[in-house]
Copies of this chain bind each other. A is one copy, B any other.
Amino acid sequence: MAVHLDTFYLDPDQDSTLQHRIKRAVVEGILSGRYRPGERMPSSRMLAKHLNISRITVTIAYTDLVADDYLVARGRSGYFVSDTAPSSPNFELPSEDSDSTFDWSRILNHRPPPASSITRPDNWQSYPYPFIYGQSDQSLFDHQNWRLCALQALGQRDFAALTLDQYERDDPKLIEYIQRNITTRRGIRARPENILVTMGAQNALWLTAQLLLTQRRIAVIENPGYRGFREILGETRCRTVEVDVDEDGLPPDKLPEQIDVVFTTPSHHSPTNASMPLERRKELLRLAGEKGFVIVEDDYEFELAFKRSPSPTLKSLDEAGCVVYIGSFSKSLFPGLRLGFMVAPTALIEQARALRSTIMRHPPWHIQRNAANFLSLGHYNAQINRMRKAYQRRRQAMEAAIEDCGLTYAVPAVSGGSCFWMKAPEGVDTEDLALALRTKGVVLEPGRSFYPPGQGPSNMYRLAYSSIATAKIPRGIELIAEEIANLD
From residue A411, how far is it (CB to closest CB) to chain B in Å? 24
Are B189 and A94 in contact (CB-based, < 8 A)? yes
Are B385 and A334 in contact (CB-based, < 8 A)? no
From residue A197, how far is it (CB to closest CB) to chain B in Å? 12
- Comparing A373-381, A442-450, A456-464, the segment that makes contact with chain B is A373-381
| Interface assignment of A57: CB less than 8 Å from any CB of chain B | no
| Interface assignment of A254: CB less than 8 Å from any CB of chain B | no
| Interface assignment of A357: CB less than 8 Å from any CB of chain B | yes
Report the bound CA distance from A77 to B364 in whole Å.
Answer: 45
- Comparing A104-112, A394-402, A474-482, the segment that makes contact with chain B is A104-112
Using Cβ atoms and an 8 Å threshold, which residues of chain B touch A138?
A: 159-160, 163
Report the bound CA distance from A351 to B111 in whole Å.
Answer: 8
| Interface assignment of A7: CB less than 8 Å from any CB of chain B | no
| Interface assignment of A59: CB less than 8 Å from any CB of chain B | no
Report the bound CA distance from A385 to B85 in whole Å.
Answer: 8
| Interface assignment of A6: CB less than 8 Å from any CB of chain B | no
Task: List A1-32 residues whose CB lies under 8 Å from chain B.
Answer: 15, 20, 23-24, 26-28, 31
Are A136 and B109 in contact (CB-based, < 8 A)? no
Are B345 and A99 in contact (CB-based, < 8 A)? yes
Copy number in the complex reads 2
| Interface assignment of A162: CB less than 8 Å from any CB of chain B | yes
Are A361 and B338 in contact (CB-based, < 8 A)? yes
| Interface assignment of A203: CB less than 8 Å from any CB of chain B | yes
| Interface assignment of A428: CB less than 8 Å from any CB of chain B | no
- Shortest Cβ distance from A157 into B: residue: B15
Are A354 and B114 in contact (CB-based, < 8 A)? yes
| Interface assignment of A312: CB less than 8 Å from any CB of chain B | yes
- Shortest Cβ distance from A212 into B: residue: B107
Report the bound CA distance from A114 to B309 in whole Å.
Answer: 42
Are A336 and B366 in contact (CB-based, < 8 A)? yes
Using Cβ atoms and an 8 Å threshold, which residues of chain B touch A318?
A: 94
From residue A56, how far is it (CB to closest CB) to chain B in Å? 18
Using Cβ atoms and an 8 Å threshold, which residues of chain B touch A214?
A: 109
| Interface assignment of A231: CB less than 8 Å from any CB of chain B | yes
Are A359 and B361 in contact (CB-based, < 8 A)? no
| Interface assignment of A409: CB less than 8 Å from any CB of chain B | no
Are A165 and B109 in contact (CB-based, < 8 A)? no
Report the bound CA distance from A87 to B310 in whole Å.
Answer: 13
Are A99 and B366 in contact (CB-based, < 8 A)? no
Known contacts A321-B99, A338-B360; A316/B91 CB under 8 A: yes
From residue A407, how far is it (CB to closest CB) to chain B in Å? 27
Known contacts A107-B212, A347-B105, A360-B200; A68/B378 CB under 8 A: yes
| Interface assignment of A154: CB less than 8 Å from any CB of chain B | yes
Across the A-B interface, the 7 shortest Cβ-Cβ residue pairs: A100-B321, A91-B187, A27-B378, A86-B381, A68-B382, A199-B360, A165-B335
Could you jot down 14 A-B contacts, CB within 8 Å? A68-B381, A107-B260, A108-B212, A109-B213, A114-B168, A136-B164, A143-B159, A161-B336, A163-B334, A164-B334, A199-B361, A202-B358, A231-B357, A366-B370
